[in-house]
Amino acid sequence: MQTSRGPLSHVKVLDLSRILAAPWAGQILADLGAEVIKVERPGMGDDTRSWGPPFLKDADGNDTREAGYYLAVNRGKRSITISLDTPEGQRIVRELAQQADIVLENYKAGTLERYGLDAASLRKINPKLIYCSVTGFGQTGPRRDQPAYDFLIQAMGGLMSVTGERDGQPGGGPQKVGVPIVDLMTGMYTAVSVLAALARRNETGVGDNIDIAMLDVQVATLANQAMNFLVSGKTPQRNGNAHPNIQPQDVYGCSDGDVILVVGNDGQFNKLCQVLGRAEWAEDPRFSTNAERVRNIGVLSGLLRAEFGARGRTELIAALDKVGVPCGAINTVPDVFEDPQVKARGMLKHVAHPNGVMVPQVSTPMRFEETPLVDVAAPPTLGQHTDTVLAELGYNAEAIAALRTAGVV
């Protein structure tokens, strides 16, 4: 029997995090149907609210307090403002934690312990709680007390050493990835971890403490480049857009623009040669296997560039598509949202915002047959749900007003 509430509709998440990595995990859980209560600082809120321009416009065309950065990672949540450095605020967080299945936090190691909101304190009142701490360097080690941002971890974790054009080439030098990939991957690992702990709790009845470090995540996601080094002893180098282990995979220029060529096996290379009218290349011992193509890519790339440069982009892409060789144009971000496949998958949606406008949202890529996901609410305005959440905890209007007057909420 189908349900339209999402597979995590029974789960409550207390999100004490801000910026991107842990909030990204919270958004994933919200997309899956969980109730996610986002705790923010009164008057200021999540740092990313101010990380603009651009900002969402209101119905009159004026900037709101919601930057695009904030809007990218907080849909489906409820926002409540609480001052954590007050006893009253700490009490409210404890009350929320008593009802929660999962707590997400990304304060510097030891910060929440001062407030009695650390894992040991909250799991004492709720032993079933899954408490996940997300930091730059983790809860142990010489850097545990240091803050970190995505850019720093891309550099420290080796990603920038293998990203960018080769030294000596135009534009050569280390580059960061164009999106905050370490934050995003950390959010993904965080979501996987808390869901694994939730599955285990269903068997044991006991919660868990989870320690996620951005640097650990980046080291883990060096993936094939890490293993290239570990099995060969050779330091991976920046190689532009060329793949270090599979060839030909690179950007090639046609007579009217660039294309991406992604040959993944010997069969696809054979088909590429047929389309180019160079069937003999597939029999050439320098190119007949992937290992030899990698060793001789300098020669092969020159031959391919000459052939591609003599052809039009649209014609070549169509010919390669027909035989199953991956090849395509390099889309801009606007191009992406005009792509027929992206449109067919419903990856762009618009949801109603409290200020009266429709806010665009990039849809979750997750698709479920038995528990289809519903469109979640727009990212909340600061403190939008404070009164509602407090009322659900049993606070009456007079008590809420007193908390607001005292600067607690």
- Could you tell me whether strands 257-262 and 249-254 are parallel, antiparallel, or unpaired per DSSP bridges? antiparallel
| Pick from 399, 366, 396, 28: nearest CA to 189 | 28
Contact yes or no for 288/241 (Cβ under 8 A)? no
Q: What is the H or E stretch that residue 130 is in? A: strand 130-135
Q: Point out the catalytic residue in the list 46, 118, 150, 183.
A: 183
Query: Which of 41, 13, 47, 50 lies closest to 28 in space, CA to CA?
Result: 13
Which string of b and e fits 320-335 if b means at least 16 CB within 10 Å? Answer: beeeebebeeeeeeee
- Report the SS3 class of residue 145: coil
Q: Do residues 165 and 171 lie in contact, with contact meaning Cβ atoms separated by under 8 Å?
A: yes
H-state helical runs in 77-235: 87-99, 111-114, 119-125, 150-156, 181-204, 214-220, 223-232
Active site residue 85: no
Q: How far apart (Å, rounded) are the C-alpha atoms in residues 198 and 192?
A: 10
The torsion angle over the Cα atoms of residues 26, 28, 30 and 32, rounded to 10 degrees, is -150
> For 172, which DSSP code?
B
Active site residues: 183
